[in-house]
A = this chain, B = another copy of it.
Amino acid sequence: MSATAAPTPSVADVRLEQVTKGFDGVVAVDGLSLEIPRGSFFALLGPSGCGKTTTLRMIGGFEEPDEGAIFLGDRPVTGLPPHKRDVNTVFQSYALFPHLTIFENIAFGLRRKGVKGQTLKGRVGEILGMVDLAGMGDRKPRQLSGGQQQRVALARALVNNPQVLLLDEPLGALDLKLRKQMQLTLKQIQHDIGITFLHVTHDQEEAMTMADVIAVMNHGRIEQLGPPEELYETPRTSFVARFLGASNLLPGTVEGQSGVRLASGALVHVEQELPAAGSRVAVGIRPEKVRLAPSRDGENRLSGTIFDRSYVGVATQYTVKTPDGRVSVFAQNTQAGSGTHEPNQAVELSFDPGSAFVVDLTEEENE
C-alpha cells in the first residue's frame, strides 16, 4: 500500500522499488517503495528497529538489497560501491577520523576527487564558516564538544555537495537544548543549498518541525507518507496516529455517513468520509483539539470525570475517564496557574467533527 501512497513528484532524486533486506532471518526492510522528490527535506520516521538505518545504508551502498532496485536520479545504483555513489552520509556516531584534523576530515572527500591547494582551502574554509567552526580547522575531533563534532560531520558530508545527503539520527547524541538548536541550523542549511536531505529519526517532533515530507516506517514498511500536517491531522493507521504525537482513539462502529457509534453508545460525527457502514473503526481526536467545556452546537460531546492532571508549564494535561476509555486533554496555560479543573471533577468534553479523524481497524486486525 505504501507504494501507491507515495506521491509522484516532478523529479525523484532517490527511488526505491520493492526493496527488501533481511539479516539472517530478521526482515529489516520489507518490500519498501519510496520516492524522494529533488530538493526536499525528507524525514524517515519510525520506532527503533523498524529498518530506518538499513534503508539508509542501502541507499548509501553499505548494504545490498536482497530484492528490489535503488535509483539515484534515473540511474540504478544497485551493486555500486559507496565511493561510486553521489550521496554522502552523516553517521549517528559522526565517525570522524580521530587521526585527522578537522580540516583534513572535511578535506577528505575533496582530496579523493583530486581537489587541491587553494581551491581545497577555499572550499573547506567556506564550509567551516557555514557550520560556524571557522578557525577550528587545526583541532583534532576529540578536542571538540558533541555539538561541534556533529557540525564537523555535517560539513564533511556537505563539502562534496552530493546529490543527496543522508542523515542517520544526526542529532540523536545531542542533549535537548543543543538538539533544538541544531534542528534550526540543519533546516537553515538545507534551505540555503537546496540539496535533497534524507533525515532518519525516531523523534516525531524533530521530523515534524524539519521535514517537508515524512514517511512513517514500521516493521520495515512505510505506514504513511506525506507532509507533516497531513500525517498529523489525518493519520491513516492507529500506529501513525499514536506515533506522531498523542491521540485519543475511541473504538466504535460506522453507522452510515451519519457517524460512528462508540462502545458507550454515544454517536460521534466526523467530517472525514467514513468506510462502509458496520466496519470497525476508531475515532481519533488530538488532545489539543478537545475542549474541557460544554459543546457548542454541531460539536461532539463526551462526559466524564477528571482522573489526573499534570502541569507541564506550557500547558496542563488532563486525563479524563469516560465510558469510552481515558481521554487526554491538552490545555494551553494562557494564564499563570496550573489550569482550571480539579481531579475528580465531572466535566464535559467537546470537539469539532472537523478536527476528528477515523482509523479503519478492520485491516489492522487482519494483519
Contact = CB atoms under 8 A, between A and B. Distances in A.
Nearest to A47: B177
A315 B332 contact: yes
Given A176-B202, A209-B312, A314-B288, A332 B332 contact: yes
Interface string A207-234: 0110000000000000000001100110
Please tell me the size bucket of the interface on A: 35 or more
Interface string A223-257: 00000110011000000000111100000000000
A164 B305 CA distance: 34
B332 A208 contact: no
A313 B335 CA distance: 22
A289 B335 contact: yes
B245 A333 contact: no
A288 B334 contact: yes
A355 interface: yes
A17 interface: no
Given A175-B203, A176-B205, A245-B314, 20 more contacts: A47-B175, A47-B177, A48-B175, A175-B202, A176-B202, A177-B202, A177-B243, A208-B311, A209-B312, A228-B313, A246-B314, A286-B314, A286-B333, A287-B314, A288-B332, A288-B334, A291-B334, A331-B332, A332-B332, A335-B354
A330 interface: yes
Contacts of A30: none
**Secondary structure type dominating chain A contacts:** mixed
A311 B228 contact: yes
Contact of A352 (B202, B286, B335): B335
Q: Which 10 A-B residue pairs are closest in the complex by CB-CB distance? A: A332-B332, A232-B313, A336-B355, A245-B313, A288-B314, A233-B336, A288-B332, A229-B338, A176-B203, A175-B202
22 contacts: A47-B177, A48-B175, A175-B202, A176-B202, A177-B243, A208-B311, A209-B312, A229-B337, A232-B311, A232-B313, A244-B313, A245-B313, A286-B333, A287-B314, A288-B332, A289-B334, A289-B336, A315-B332, A332-B332, A335-B355, A336-B354, A336-B355
Contacts of A8: none
A284 to B, nearest CB: 12
B312 A205 contact: yes
Interface string A167-192: 00000000111000000000000000
B355 A313 contact: no
A362 interface: no
A304 to B, nearest CB: 19
A244 B336 CA distance: 15
A310 B355 contact: no
Nearest to A231: B313
